[in-house]
Chain A
Amino acid sequence: MKRGQANPVESLNKLGKDIVKQLDELKNPDVILPVRTLSNIYFDDKSKIIQLGDKISHRTYLNVAHTRKFMQTLLVAAECKKIIEQNVTTSIRDLYYAVKHTIPGTQENTVEEQSESDPVLEDLEAALNTLREQLHLQADRKGHVAGPIVVNDVGDDIDATRMGSSGWAIPSNVEPETVKFKSCSADYVLVIEKDAVWQRLNEDKFWRKQNCLILTSKGQPARGARRLINRLHTELKLPIYVLTDGDVWGYYIYSVIKQGSINLSFLSDRLGMPEAKFIGLTTQDVKKFGIPGNVTIKLNQGDVKRANEMLNYVWFKPKEWQQEINHMLKVGYKLELEALSAKGIKFISESYLPQKIGEKDFLP
Chain B
Amino acid sequence: MAEVVAAKEPVNVTKTAQQMGEEQREISISQFFEKNRHLLGYDNKAKALLTIIREGVDNALDACEEARILPDISVKLEEVDKEKFKIVIKDNGPGIVKKQIPNIFGKLLYGSKFHRLKQQRGQQGIGVSGAALYAQLTTGEPLEIVTSTGDGKLHRYKQKIDVKHNQPVILEDSAEDTEKWHGVRLTFVAEGVYREGKQSVLEYLKQVAVANPYANIAFDSPSGKTEFKRGADHLPKEPKEIQPHLMGVEVGIMSRMLHDTKARTMATFFTAEFSRIGTLTANEICKKASIDPKISPRKISDQQVVEIVKVVKEMKLIRPPTDCLSPLGEKLIESGLKKEFSPEWVASISRPPEVYRGFPFQVEVGIAYGGGITEPRLLRFANRVPLLYQQGDCAITKGATEIDWKRYGIESDKFPTGPVVVFLHLASVWVPFTSESKEAIANYPVIIKEIKLGIQECARKLSLYLSGMRRAQRQAERLAIFERYAPETAKALEELTGTSAKKIIDQIKKIVTEKGSEIEEEENEGDETGPGEPGGEPE
Interface residues of A (CB under 8 A from B): 12-13, 15-17, 19-20, 23-24, 26-29, 35-39, 57, 59, 61-71, 74-75, 77-78, 81-82, 92, 103-106, 108, 110, 118-119, 139-140, 142, 219-223, 248-249, 252, 256, 261-264, 306, 309
Contacts and interface: CB of A to CB of B under 8 A. Distances in A.
Nearest to A18: B497
A263 B493 CA distance: 27
Contacts of A256: 533
B493 to A, nearest CB: 5
B197 interface: no
A186 B539 CA distance: 28
A77 to B, nearest CB: 6
Contacts of A119: 528-529
A77 B496 contact: yes
B537 A264 contact: yes
Interface string B483-494: 011011101110
7 contacts: A17-B496, A20-B504, A37-B532, A57-B525, A63-B519, A118-B539, A119-B528
A110 B534 CA distance: 28
Interface string B505-539: 00110111011100101011111111111111111
B481 interface: yes
A256 B507 CA distance: 45
B497 A13 contact: yes
A62 B475 CA distance: 12
A13 B496 CA distance: 5
Given A71-B485, A71-B489, A103-B488, 8 more contacts: A28-B515, A59-B525, A61-B511, A62-B515, A69-B525, A81-B495, A263-B532, A306-B534
Contact of B529 (A37, A74, A108, A221): A37
A68 B485 contact: yes
Nearest to B519: A62
Given A57-B526, A118-B539, A62 B511 contact: yes
Contact of B514 (A17, A26, A29): A26
A263 B519 CA distance: 30
Contacts of A106: 484
Nearest to A12: B496
Contacts of A59: 525
Contacts of B516: 62
B270 to A, nearest CB: 72
Given A28-B515, A139-B539, A23 B534 contact: no
B535 A103 contact: no
A37 B539 contact: no
Counting chain B residues whose Cβ lies within 8 A of the other chain, the interface size class is 35 or more
B356 interface: no
B539 A75 contact: no
Question: Which 7 residue pairs are nearest across A and B when measured between Cβ atoms?
Answer: A16-B496, A37-B530, A74-B492, A78-B495, A262-B532, A16-B497, A220-B538
A20 B529 CA distance: 29
A37 B497 contact: no
B276 interface: no
Contacts of A110: 488
B528 A222 contact: no
Contacts of A139: 539
Contacts of B478: 64
A220 B537 CA distance: 7
A150 B514 CA distance: 64
Contacts of B511: 23, 26-29, 61-62
B473 interface: no
Nearest to B530: A37
B499 interface: yes
B533 to A, nearest CB: 6
B482 interface: yes
A103 B519 CA distance: 25
Contacts of A23: 504, 507-508, 511
A214 B480 CA distance: 56
Contacts of A29: 508, 511
B308 to A, nearest CB: 73
Contacts of A71: 485, 488-489, 492
Given A15-B496, A74-B496, A92-B539, A26 B523 contact: no
A222 B539 contact: yes
Contacts of B492: 16, 71, 74-75, 77-78
Contacts of B508: 23, 29, 61
Nearest to A121: B539
Contacts of A65: 521, 523-525
Contacts of A306: 534
Interface string B271-313: 0000000000000000000000000000000000000000000
B481 A67 contact: yes
A37 B536 contact: no
Q: Which of A28, A67, A105, A262 has the most CB of B within 10 A?
A: A67
Contact of A74 (B489, B532, B534): B489
B495 A63 contact: no
Contacts of A64: 477-478, 481-482, 521, 523
A108 B482 CA distance: 14
A248 B535 CA distance: 11
A63 B526 CA distance: 13
A78 B496 contact: yes
Given A62-B511, A62-B512, A39 B539 contact: no
Contact of B482 (A67, A103, A263): A67
A15 B497 CA distance: 9
B494 to A, nearest CB: 8
A352 B266 CA distance: 114
A299 B510 CA distance: 58
Q: Which of B487, B527, B534, B539 has the most CB of A within 10 A?
A: B539
Nearest to A103: B488
A61 B533 contact: no
Contacts of B539: 92, 118, 139-140, 222-223
A66 B525 CA distance: 7
Interface string B5-22: 000000000000000000
B323 to A, nearest CB: 56
B534 A249 contact: yes
Nearest to B474: A64
Nearest to A59: B525
A10 to B, nearest CB: 11
Given A57-B526, A61-B482, A110-B488, A220 B535 contact: yes
Nearest to B531: A38
B484 A252 contact: no
A282 B422 CA distance: 71
A139 B349 CA distance: 68
A248 B508 CA distance: 49
A97 B511 CA distance: 31
Contacts of B535: 219-220, 249, 252
Contacts of A20: 493, 497, 499, 504
B312 to A, nearest CB: 67
A118 B536 CA distance: 12
Given A28-B511, A62-B519, A103-B484, A38 B532 contact: yes
Contacts of A69: 525
A337 B349 CA distance: 76
Given A75-B492, A78-B495, A82-B495, A70 B485 contact: yes
Contacts of B525: 57, 59, 65-66, 69
Nearest to A23: B507
Q: Which of B497, B510, B521, B536 has the most CB of A within 10 A?
A: B497
Nearest to A101: B488
B488 A220 contact: no
Nearest to A252: B534
Interface in B356-399: none
A291 to B, nearest CB: 24
A270 to B, nearest CB: 15
B526 A37 contact: yes
